[in-house]
Every structure is written in C-alpha cells, then in structure tokens.
Amino acid sequence: MRPRDLVTGLADLVLGARCPGCGRPAPGACEQCVAGVVAVRPFPVPGLPSGLPPVLAGGWYDGELRQLVLAAKEREALGVVGLLGGRVAAAAAAWLLATGHGGPVVLVPVPSSRAGVAARGLDLPWALAGAAAARLRAAGAAASRWRGLRLVRAPRDQSELGRGERLANLAGALRGVARPPDGVPVVVDDIVTTGATLAEAVRAGSVAGWVPGAAAVVAATPLRGGAR
C-alpha cells in the first residue's frame, strides 16, 4: 500500500468513507450514484468530426459520473474502475447490438503517458478496457484487451486547448501496433471531448494496418452551444 493510500484509508476510518460521486457517507460509490450511472442508456456521441468510426458513450461527463471519473483518475477511488469499465462494456455492447456484429471484440485502450501513470499509479484506459472485457465475456461475448496503441511522444496537457489546437498537439503522438488479435478493434478511452485523441488513434491504427470498428468511452463531454 502506498503512503497516500494509507493516509486515505486511515482518514476513512477516522472520518467515515465517502462516496466519490456525491460525497455521501458510503464505502465506495453509493447505491444512488451506481443506480444513476447504470440507468443511462449508452448513446452515439453527437457533434464529433467526420472520419471517426461510431463513438459510443456510457454517459455524459457531468454530475456524479464526472466526479467518479475524476476520482478514478486521481486514484482516490480504485473501487469505481469496475463501475466505469461497465459503462465502456455497455457502450461496446450497444454498438454490437446496433450493428449485428458478432465479435470477437478487441478493446484497444488509448495509451497514457508514463509520467501520468507514474504520478497516478494507474493507467485508467488500460484498467477500463480490462474491466470492460471481463464484463463483455461475462455477458457471453468474446472480448479481449490489446495494447495496440503506443505513445510516441507525450502530448501537452490539452484540457485548456480547443479542437484545432488539440489536433495539432496530438498529430503523430500515437503509433499503432501491427497484427491485432482476431476480432474487431474498438478503441477505449475514459472521456471524449473534441474527438482529437480518437482521430489520432484511428490514424495510427490505419497506418499499422487495422481500422477500429468503433470507439467506446465512459463519458462524453456535453456540447456547449451545439459545438465541441
């Protein structure tokens, strides 16, 4: 156990654990937050640039789902990775149902920077893809996780960048690995905002000889005035 986890764990004992979604006292995500998150039907994300395969999200990046994603990212709530991975699985399942695709599905997580993984101790997209593959297999679908995208260089933090700046920031940042396992590749990420990361993933995969059939994300950033 890392010191920060120990501190958090001891503080939980003293103060009482709180739900990372809403802050109510609860050991992990509370029943209300879980119920609210899983009640959302996965949907195709609107307003993304053309040229992307269908992008399905398990919810909007808002409210309790936003708080849960942030908590998982900051490694404050590892217990919610299974819940969030379930949203990725639901998004992938919605695409399989809509297209009649029988699988197998190869979940390809967007790579995290080494610095980010070192700081957080968690590669969230990789963990989400693992949890989602397990959920899909439990539902009877053939699904695996594959490290088919590598980071060539670490892009700048793009939270403050617009779509054009993000595209420039990410161009050439990823490299696709050749010869994916048998199945249709589905790119996995935690959040989609402008779609720039997914566009770079599709480009890198295409160069390596494979084309994602879809992308599945936990949550989509809501449109602001109809634009991303």
Residue closer to Zn ion (CB basis): 23 or 51: 23
- Site map (CB under 5 A) of Zn ion, residues 27-66, x = contact: ---x--x---------------------------------
Residue closer to Zn ion (CB basis): 33 or 187: 33
- Residue 19 lies near Zn ion (rule: CB under 5 A): yes
Lookup: tokens for 194: 């402008």
- Residue 68 lies near Zn ion (rule: CB under 5 A): no
Neighbours of 113 (CB within 10 A): 15
Angle between helices 63-73 and 31-38 (to 10 degrees): 110
Nearest CA among 9, 12, 34 for reference residue 21:
34
Neighbours of 183 (CB within 10 A): 17
- CB neighbours of 16 closer than 8 A, spacing ≥ 6? 25
CB of 117 to Zn ion, least distance (A): 27
Q: Which stretch binds Zn ion (CB under 5 A): 19-27, 69-77, 107-115, 155-163?
A: 19-27
* Candidate list 17, 22, 40, 151; residue touching Zn ion; CB under 5 A: 22
Nearest CA among 34, 36, 14, 132 for reference residue 82:
132
Residue closer to Zn ion (CB basis): 22 or 70: 22
Binding site for Zn ion (CB under 5 A): 19, 21-22, 30, 33
